[in-house]
DNA sequence: CGATACCTGAGTAAAACACTCAACAACAGC
DNA sequence: GCTGTTGTTGAGTGTTTTACTCAGGTATCG
């Protein structure tokens, strides 16, 4: 499993913030309830997202969290890399600083390098705004099929 | 990290077997030495590969392991899935038996489903024979640059 | 029979994961 | 300026996975 709950929860939370953008700060308890995320765990994810510059938080009563920039300016790749660290599927890819790739031994590297490049390109092409739009679309579908 | 050492070591071992196909059984100690894999750990990987039908083993003196079918008939996808289980990047994809996909909550599923499909197709298109050929090519390159 | 190999399952140290808890800091409103 | 509400931080913890090792067992060849 490439993604842990951090990447999953973190993106869910960001979708929630994007959906309520322009309505003032959203409290973590609301996010946690709506997106089914443990509240005390969400704290740490929001802290990571704030440090990475995606979220702005305000304290005190009627405080909360909101997007630090428009949802269309946030792409899924940068978001996930902020939450998860590297998304490299193998250890050999993206070697540690000061080392060279040890390609001589790991014979499947070249395939995974291609897959990794494609994956990153695809993720970079998806914005948070698109994710929200997709969710809205999905909700409409659900309502229609419910009415039939 | 999508792949653990199992997938890495296992494929290395299979490349080694493919390279020495037709020369009789290869002993695990030789594989372990050439591919830098802990020998006692390699035991379990070979057992998995045998149960999955990729490797045939013979006991006794001058025993060892060899491919159960031609290297061109083995693709990287089936090999890695035998070693690692599912390669799904998210938990939500490929839900447990008897469950439906919980797409309503996880808003990035559709992107990952696309990436996962592409990934599997790419892996299925690469055969073990190609991996061996690639390694041979790489060795030739290394020798040439050494001679210059 | 005995040496040589594979085969199997139990065990284990270390890391990662998925959280929880407690103490603290800031701000709003009275 | 006090109080209560919210966010902030770091330490801690139980569980699971990883990456092995080890001790025995079994088949086979000579």
| Distance separating alpha carbons of residues B13 and A57, to the nearest angstrom | 51
One-character DSSP codes across B17-50: HHHTTTS--B-HHHHHHHHT--HHHHHHHHHHHH
Q: Which of A19, A8, A34 shows the shortest CA–CA distance to A67?
A: A19
Q: Could you identify the residue written with the tokens 């020798």? A: B143
CA A40 / C1′ C20 distance in Å: 7
> Are the beta carbons of A2 and B107 separated by less than 8 Å?
no
Tens digit of each residue's pLDDT (9 = 90 or more) over A99-144: 444 444 558 999 999 999 999 999 999 999 999 999 998 888 877 7
Does domain B5-146 fall under CATH 1.10.10.10? My reply is: yes
CB-nearest partner of A111 from B90, B115, B126? B126
Interchain proximity A138–B103, CB inside 8 Å: yes
Spacing of A83 CA from D10 C1' in Å: 19
How far apart CA A15 and CA A8 sit, in angstroms, is 11
Nearest to B119 by CA among A123, A72, A96, A49: A123
Taking the alpha carbons at both ends of chain A, their separation in whole angstroms is 37
Residue ranges per structural domain of chain A: 5-146
Q: Tens of pLDDT along B112-145?
A: 999 999 999 999 999 999 999 999 988 888 777 7
Judged by a CB distance cut-off of 8 A, whether residue A40 touches chain B is: no
Contact: B8, A90; criterion CB under 8 Å: yes
Q: How far apart are CA A93 and CA A105, in angstroms?
A: 13
pLDDT tens for the 148 residues of chain B, in order? 999 999 999 999 999 999 999 999 999 999 999 999 999 999 999 999 999 999 999 999 999 999 999 999 999 999 999 999 999 999 876 554 444 444 445 589 999 999 999 999 999 999 999 999 999 988 888 777 767 6
Q: Do A1 and B89 touch (CB under 8 A)?
A: yes
Euclidean distance between CA atoms A123 and A30, whole angstroms: 27
- Tell me the DSSP string of B57-120: EE-STT-EEEESS-GGG-BHHHHHHHHHS---SSSSSSPPTT----TTT-TTHHHHHHHHHHHH
Instruction: Give the per-residue pLDDT at B96.
Output: 47
Query: What is the full DSSP assignment across A111-135?
Result: HHHHHHHHHHHHHHT-BHHHHHHHH
Min distance A18 CA to chain B CA atoms (Å)? 12
CB atoms under 10 Å from CB of B134, counted, come to: 17
Cα separation of A118 and B11, whole Å? 22
Report the distance separating Cα A33 and Cα A39, nearest Å. Answer: 8
* pLDDT at residue number B97: 46
**Is B146's Cβ below 8 Å from some Cβ in A?**
no
pLDDT at A89: 95
Contact B67, B73 (CB under 8 A): no
B40 touching A (Cβ < 8 Å): no
Under a CB-based contact definition with an 8 Å cutoff, are residues B28 and B65 in contact? yes
What's this model's pTM, rounded to 2 decimal places?
A: 0.91
């Amino acid at each position: 499993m490439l993604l842990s709950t951090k990447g999953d929860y973190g993106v869910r939370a960001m979708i929630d913030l994007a959906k309520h953008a322009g309505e003032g700060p959203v409290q973590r308890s609301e996010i946690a309830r709506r997106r089914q995320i443990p509240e005390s765990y969400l704290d740490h994810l929001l802290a990571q997202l704030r440090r990475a510059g995606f979220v702005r938080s305000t304290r005190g009563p009627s405080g909360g969290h909101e997007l630090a920039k428009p949802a269309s300016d946030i792409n899924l790749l940068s978001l996930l890399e902020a939450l998860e660290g590297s998304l490299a599927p193998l250890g050999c890819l993206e070697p540690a600083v000061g080392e060279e790739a040890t390609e001589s031994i790991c014979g499947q590297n070249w395939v995974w390098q291609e897959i990794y490049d494609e994956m990153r390109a695809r993720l970079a092409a998806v914005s948070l705004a698109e994710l929200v739009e997709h969710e809205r679309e999905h909700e409409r579908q659900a309502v229609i099929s419910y009415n039939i």
